[in-house]
Amino acid sequence: MKKLFVAVALAGGILFQSCKKDNNNNNGSSAQNAQMSIRLTDAPGDYDAVNVNIQSISVNHETKGWIDIPVQRPGMYNLLDLRNGTDVLLCQGDIPPGRINQIRLTLGSGNTVMVKGMVYELNTPSAEESGLKLNVDQSLDANTAYSFWLDFDAGKSVVETGSGKYMLKPVIRSYTQLTDGRIKGYFSFLYPGTIVYAINGADTFSTYPDKSGSFMFCGLPEANYTLHIETASTLTLDVPGVAVKFGSVTDVGVLTLRP
């Protein structure tokens, strides 16, 4: 039941779900170009902070080669600030029509994780040297806007190697406006160590409620889910039959854990 959904990581890159058209509005892009935006969000982990230094993003076009899309604010992003439906726009730019097959995300140095108030360096050698190659296979049409969300799984991406050392091995799941199913809810009282799982057969997603007791899953495939809630005090709750549809938010309302 606790087996988490993991994006398939390829050697030197990450399998990336293809993006589809979001709308037919070019949102101000240059004539005869497509507009592409990339946003960052997080599948949270049990850490105090995960700081990732994002420096550049580029896409590999079938005829134009690598095209840089300047990051609007290069530098550190705390992934744990981007959970429960919160995201940040990394970059936005015009891309010539045609097919793109890769996105390259390059990280800088100084990535860190905070565990129980202690800050540790995150070793990320491959990302710093050549960038993370994200495989895509998407055709872009002129005068059309495309949006990608990069769901950076902090819990799966940070690996403890022993002796107080940690490594960043990014696990990223992507979704688009057309492949975005959501579940939200709220706890009437938030017990310490509460974690929420959304379970659909062999696939399991997880999130932590924020301090107000609210939680949200984003980018879920269409399916019927069971919510399984656990706390540090071994209290549990199951909510079956939660239906998810693309483009909509399923609100499960107020949940109450009883001892």
At 2-17, the pLDDT tens digits run 333 333 333 333 333 3
- Looking only at the bridges linking them, the beta strands covering 13-15 and 34-43 are unpaired
What is the pLDDT at residue 127?
62
Residue 175 has pLDDT above 90, yes or no: no
Q: How confident is the model at residue 62 (pLDDT cuts 50, 70, 90)?
A: very high
Q: What stretch of H or E contains 128?
A: helix 125-130
pTM of whole model > 0.85?
no
- Per domain, the residue ranges of the chain are 9-178, 180-255
Angle subtended at Cα 17 by Cα 11 and Cα 18, rounded to the nearest 5 degrees: 120
Q: Check residue 1 and report its DSSP letter.
A: -
Q: Which of 180, 186, 237, 236 is nearest to 209 (CA)?
A: 186
What is the pLDDT at residue 31?
65
Q: What is the share, in percent, of the chain residues with pLDDT greater than 90?
A: 48
Q: Could you report the per-residue pLDDT of 89-107, keeping only the tens digit for each?
A: 999 999 999 998 888 899 9
Q: How confident is the model at residue 251 (pLDDT cuts 50, 70, 90)?
A: very high
Check if the beta carbon of residue 166 is closer than 8 Å to that of residue 137: no
Rounded to whole angstroms, the Cα distance separating 84 from 215 reads 5
- Looking only at the bridges linking them, the beta strands covering 112-115 and 118-123 are antiparallel
What is the pLDDT at residue 173?
80
Rounded to whole angstroms, the Cα distance separating 18 from 100 reads 10
Q: What is the mean pLDDT of the chain?
A: 83
Which residues lie closer than 8 Å to 125 by C-beta, 6 or more apart? none
- Mean pLDDT value of segment 48-72: 94
What is the pLDDT at residue 120?
93
Q: What stretch of H or E contains 129?
A: helix 125-130
CATH number at 180-255: 2.60.40.1120
